Amino acid sequence: MKIGIVGAGRVGCACALAAVVRGSARAIVIVDRTRARAKAVATDLRYGTPLCPKTTIVDGDYEELADAALVMITAGINEKTGGATDRSDPQGRLRLLEKNAEIYRDIVPRVVRAAPGAVILVVTDPPDPLADIARDSAGHDRVLSTGTFLDSLRFRVHLAEHFEVDANQVEAQVIGEHGVSEVFLWSSARIAGVPINKLIEQRGETLDKVREQIEKSVRYANITIIEGNDASQFGIGIVSARIAEMVLRDERAAIPIGSYHEKFGVTLSLPSVVGRDGVVRTFEPEMSPEEQQALERGAASLRKSESRT
């Protein structure tokens, strides 16, 4: 099975590296507006493939995306270049929407002409409204946003560090927008079946204090990373490769991921079953009234942003 990656910037390279190391696909095609860059990245990675699961990685133009089961789009203006690194900015990543929408309206039709049956995975920020633009441009619903999958992993990692356990033993999700309005589902977060609020109480801590600390770390993790390394790339690269595997292998794995929801009128993340055609089924988890209201506010914010493009 083959995947395509459009965009050979830092995030695109991280996606390609993760896919090669994990053996996510038997064939990977890298497309970039600068063909020399795509060729250099593919060549560099190819020299390491003998140490990885069997993978063929090449550069190409859009035509080489033919028969791809999934195409990741990572092209666009990133957070640092687009000025989306101010923690006090209520727009957050949405500040990048206007410029990246133009780029997507050019790229997506080319992808669809070359690979009409492919699932499109939107990786570029802000991924949720860009997924809606991709849906319109593609003329089909096989469009995913990486959504809050990475945010949920960050949430689990910070909870694991706080309680000194393995992150794989933490059950916790972030839903809604991949951005400042994302919703942390504290009401259903658990470790080994024990609700987080009970564990906090046992430690003599308060939920409000722990919540403030962890939500701040997760919500602005991208900015913290960018301040030290110019780009947030490796986590999203691994996440994107994992999503590709779910699609190519028709895994029916359940993760928080972005897809279009008629109820909200936009793409946002809810726990969803992912298979060969993208999102197969969506679950709406139990939420506290506060969490439900936050999800609805986030959806309204996304609708407002999209109406301007």
Domain boundaries, the chain: 2-147
Residue with tokens 């009128």: 265
Q: How far apart are CA 273 and CA 199, in angstroms?
A: 29
Question: Which of 140, 158, 162, 178 does the annotation list as catalytic?
Answer: 178
Helix (H) or strand (E) holding 168: none
Closest Cα to residue 126, out of 181, 73, 177?
A: 177
Binding region for NAD(+): 7-12, 32, 100
| 178 in active site | yes
Q: The whole model's pTM is what?
A: 0.97
Q: How far apart are CA 268 and CA 245, in angstroms?
A: 21
Helix and strand element counts for the chain (H, E): 10, 14
CATH of region 2-147: 3.40.50.720
Tens of pLDDT along the chain (309 residues) come to 999 999 999 999 999 999 999 999 999 999 999 999 999 999 999 999 999 999 999 999 999 999 999 999 999 999 988 888 989 888 999 999 999 999 999 999 999 999 999 999 999 999 999 999 999 999 999 999 999 999 999 999 999 999 999 999 999 999 999 999 999 999 999 999 999 999 999 999 999 999 999 999 999 999 999 999 999 999 999 999 999 999 999 999 999 999 999 999 999 999 999 999 999 999 999 999 999 999 999 999 999 999 888
Q: How far apart are CA 241 and CA 3, in angstroms?
A: 10
Strand-pairing partners, residue 2, are 27
Q: What is the pLDDT of residue 139?
A: 96
Binding region: 7-12, 32, 100
Q: What is the pLDDT of residue 309?
A: 83
